[in-house]
């Protein structure tokens, strides 16, 4: 069973912990048991990050909808003509 944090992690904290886990696992120095625990924690963190991203996407869709039109427009960063 995985340990549940006492306070919910925000996206950035979860991502940072996930990156740290991956780095330790890539070094190949963990025991099999520790590797499995790290993998299980990594899966939980990945799911948490995916859920956070889905929620953020939904908020953006709501904020960008016009007059109840739920049409989603593609993101185009810094498009400039000229």
Concatenated DSSP letters of 2-26: PPPPSSPPPHHHHHHHHHHHHHHHH
CA pair distance 67, 43, nearest whole angstrom = 39
pLDDT band at 71 (very low <50, low <70, confident <90, very high): low
Task: State which residues form the domain around 33.
Answer: 11-64
The predicted structure's pLDDT at residue 1: 42
CA distances from 29 to 39, 40, 42 (A): 14, 17, 17
pLDDT band at 63 (very low <50, low <70, confident <90, very high): confident
Looking at the structure of the chain, the number of domains it has is 1
Examine residue 51 and state whether it is found in any structural domain, yes or no: yes
Examine residue 3 and state whether it is found in any structural domain, yes or no: no
CATH number at residue 52: 1.10.287.1040
According to DSSP, residue 29 is labeled -
Q: Which is more confidently placed, 58 or 82?
A: 58
pLDDT band at 81 (very low <50, low <70, confident <90, very high): very low
The answer to whether the predicted template modeling score (pTM) of the entire model surpasses 0.75 is: no
């Amino acid at each position: 069973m995985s340990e549940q944090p006492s306070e919910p992690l925000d996206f950035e904290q979860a991502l940072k912990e996930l990156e740290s886990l991956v780095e330790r696992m890539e070094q190949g120095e963990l025991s099999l048991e520790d590797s499995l625990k790290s993998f299980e924690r990594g899966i939980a963190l990945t799911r948490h990050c995916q859920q956070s991203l889905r929620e953020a996407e939904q908020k953006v869709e709501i904020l960008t909808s016009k007059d109840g039109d739920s049409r989603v427009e593609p993101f185009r960063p810094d498009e400039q003509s000229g």
